[in-house]
Amino acid sequence: MQHLQITFNSINVSVQVGDLVFYVSTYPTGKGFEFSNDQKKYFGPVMEVDGNTLVVEYDDINNPHSPPLTSDYIMFAKDQVVNKSGLKGYYLSANFINDSKIPSELYSVGTEVSESSK
């Protein structure tokens, strides 16, 4: 096992220790890039977040993929064992504002809320 550092210009604020890091090689399509799930490669779990730097645990023996290149797109996913539930809390307040000049209709609004404690 190795701990590898990846430094970004900016990093998503919701990345936390335990998140799973994946990457995919980029191929320009004119509008950015596209990829399918079978091209996604697992890199390892986040061990530390320090500013714009991630420390990722990389299993260089059992992982069939090499570490990502600087041109690869890096993404993360929440560990489903740790982050099972939806929003938590006692209440929810939402304001919907339409600043358009034309009338609009809101068809549906939905969310999943779990009570955090009693």
- pLDDT for 85: 57
- pLDDT for 30: 60
pLDDT tens sequence across 6-18: 888 888 888 889 8
> Helix, strand or coil for residue 75?
strand
What's the sign of the alpha-carbon dihedral 52, 10, 45, 42? negative
pLDDT tens sequence across 12-67: 888 889 899 998 877 666 656 667 677 788 888 999 999 889 999 988 787 777 88
The model's pTM is 0.61
Average pLDDT, the chain: 79
Running DSSP on this structure, what letter comes out for residue 43? E
Domain ranges of the chain: 2-77
- pLDDT for 46: 92
Neighbours of 115 (CB within 10 A): 9
- pLDDT for 49: 92
CA distance 16 to 39: 24
